[in-house]
C-alpha cells in the first residue's frame, strides 16, 4: 500500500480547516441563570465570561431577567469604556453617558503597569429599572512607575451604572474608577 505524498495530505488538511472556518457560525452564547436566558452577543464573550462566573447562583429570577433585558447595553458599555478600538466602533452610542475611558485614565495617572483582563465583577445591585456593578480590572505590576507599592498585582475597581425608562429601554449612565485593591474581595 502506497502512502499519499505529504503535500497532498497537507492540502487536504488545509481545505478541511478552511471549510470548518467558513461554516463556523458565531451564534450568541446563552447564560442560563435562575430560569432566565441571558444572551451574550458573539462579540461580547469576554464580558459574558466575567458575568457568568460572578452571578452564578447569586441572582433572583427577577434580577436575572432584568440583567438579560439590559445585557447588550451592558456589554457595549463595558467594551466601549475599556478598549480604544471599541470606543471608535461604538462612537455616538452613549452620547449622554459620563464615561471614564480606562486607557485615558491610565495615561492621565501615569500608570504604565501591564493591563490584564477582567478579573471579576462584584457588588451587583439590580432593581427593575437600575443596574450597577463593580468591574475589577487586573493590573500586572511590572513597571517602575511608582504607582503601586511592592511587586504584587492589583485591581482597578470601576463602577458602572445603568437605568431603564418605563418601556425598559436601557441607558448607560456612567462609570467611574472607585479605587484599587489587592484582590477582588476587598
Interval 112-145: pLDDT, tens = 777 778 878 999 999 999 999 999 998 877 766 5
Own/partner pairs, 43-46, CB within 8 angstroms, 24+ separation: 43/75, 43/79, 44/72, 44/75, 44/76, 44/79, 46/79, 46/117, 46/118
For the chain, the residue count is 186
Q: Which residues of the chain have pLDDT under 50?
A: 1, 22-24
C-beta of residue 43 within 8 angstroms of C-beta of residue 28? no
**Topology of the domain comprising 27-181:** Nuclear Transport Factor 2; Chain: A, (3.10.450)
**Predicted pLDDT at 166:** 75
Residue 24's pLDDT is what? 43
- Among residues 180, 163, 155, which one has the least CA distance to residue 129? 163
Cβ neighbours around 148 below 10 Å, total: 17
Predicted model pTM = 0.80
Amino acid at each position: 500500500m502506497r502512502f499519499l505524498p505529504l503535500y497532498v495530505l497537507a492540502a487536504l488538511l488545509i481545505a478541511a480547516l478552511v471549510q470548518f472556518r467558513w461554516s463556523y457560525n458565531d451564534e450568541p452564547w446563552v447564560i442560563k441563570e435562575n430560569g432566565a436566558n441571558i444572551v451574550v452577543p458573539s462579540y461580547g464573550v469576554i464580558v459574558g465570561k466575567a458575568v457568568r462566573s460572578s452571578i452564578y447562583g447569586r441572582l433572583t429570577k427577577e434580577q436575572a431577567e432584568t440583567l438579560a433585558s439590559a445585557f447588550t447595553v451592558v456589554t457595549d458599555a463595558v467594551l466601549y469604556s475599556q478598549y480604544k478600538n471599541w470606543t471608535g466602533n461604538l462612537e455616538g452610542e452613549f452620547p449622554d453617558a459620563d464615561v471614564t475611558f480606562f486607557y485615558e485614565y491610565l495615561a492621565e495617572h501615569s500608570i504604565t503597569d501591564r493591563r490584564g483582563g477582567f478579573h471579576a465583577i462584584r457588588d451587583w445591585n439590580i432593581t427593575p429599572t437600575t443596574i450597577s456593578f463593580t468591574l475589577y480590572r487586573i493590573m500586572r505590576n511590572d513597571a517602575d512607575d511608582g504607582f503601586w507599592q511592592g511587586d504584587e498585582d492589583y485591581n482597578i475597581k470601576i463602577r458602572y451604572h445603568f437605568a431603564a425608562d418605563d418601556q425598559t429601554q436601557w441607558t448607560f449612565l456612567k462609570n467611574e474608577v472607585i479605587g484599587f485593591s489587592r484582590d477582588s474581595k476587598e
